[in-house]
Chain A
Amino acid sequence: GAGVSQTPSNKVTEKGKYVELRCDPISGHTALYWYRQSLGQGPEFLIYFQGTGAADDSGLPNDRFFAVRPEGSVSTLKIQRTERGDSAVYLCASSTAGGPTYTDTQYFGPGTRLTVL
């Protein structure tokens, strides 16, 4: 079956611009996660959705970052007034349940490489 897909695969933008990154989870997965991976580092948690609601957004670095999942499937990560320090690979993952049943395997998409000039 189809895995997690993310679009675009690459995004180059200028400092101060607004960007949207999209994630299509595996069909039927209720849990969706966003992570950010900087060069030479492991993925860093940003936000977790259970269905349509954000169950944990403790990893969002500041209020320029926002994510939605209006119908409990596709999610969009939105970054306002981008800064050079936002340059990273943004990874999306989904799992069947998430939350208390955190032993469910998280399946990752290929990521979106964001470059802020």
Chain B
Amino acid sequence: DQQVKQNSPSLSVQEGRISILNCDYTNSMFDYFLWYKKYPAEGPTFLISISSIKDKNEDGRFTVFLNKSAKHLSLHIVPSQPGDSAVYFCAASGGNQGGKLIFGQGTELSVKP
């Protein structure tokens, strides 16, 4: 069973606009969530995280929102830049899963100049 789901395999956005990437999870025991960014032929790079005691965390152009009741998180990138074009993975950990990360399938973001 897929505990973390990213239902949009791809997203295309114009440079300067907002990118919104979505992620849903099913395990209510998860209490730590992360977003990773991946370029081709490279490993995932940590982007931003959020603990379940918060509903928002912001770092520069990147903001993650967590809605625990809906078991949903989203990553907002404002303004989007062409260099943001990559595959974005959300991941969850904690509870009965311990320290291992459970990843979604990824969303490929394309930011067009």
Count B interface residues, CB 8 Å.
27
Asked if B65 is an interface residue, CB under 8 A from chain A, the answer is no
Count A interface residues, CB 8 Å.
31
- Contact for A99 among B9, B99, B102, CB less than 8 A: B99
Residue of A nearest to B102 (CB): A45
A-B contact count (CB 8 A): 69
**Cβ of B49: which chain A residues have Cβ within 8 Å of it?**
103, 105
Check if A4 sits within 8 Å of B43, measured CB to CB.
yes
The verdict on A103 contacting B32 (CB below 8 Å), with A40-B105, A42-B105, A108-B44 known, is yes
Tell me the complex Cα distance, A43–B92, Å. 12
Residue of A nearest to B45 (CB): A108
Contact indicator per residue, chain B 89-100, by CB within 8 Å of chain A (1) or not (0): 101011000111
Residue of A nearest to B103 (CB): A42
B residues lining the A interface (CB < 8 Å): 4, 6, 9, 32, 34, 36, 41-46, 49, 51, 89, 91, 93-94, 98-106
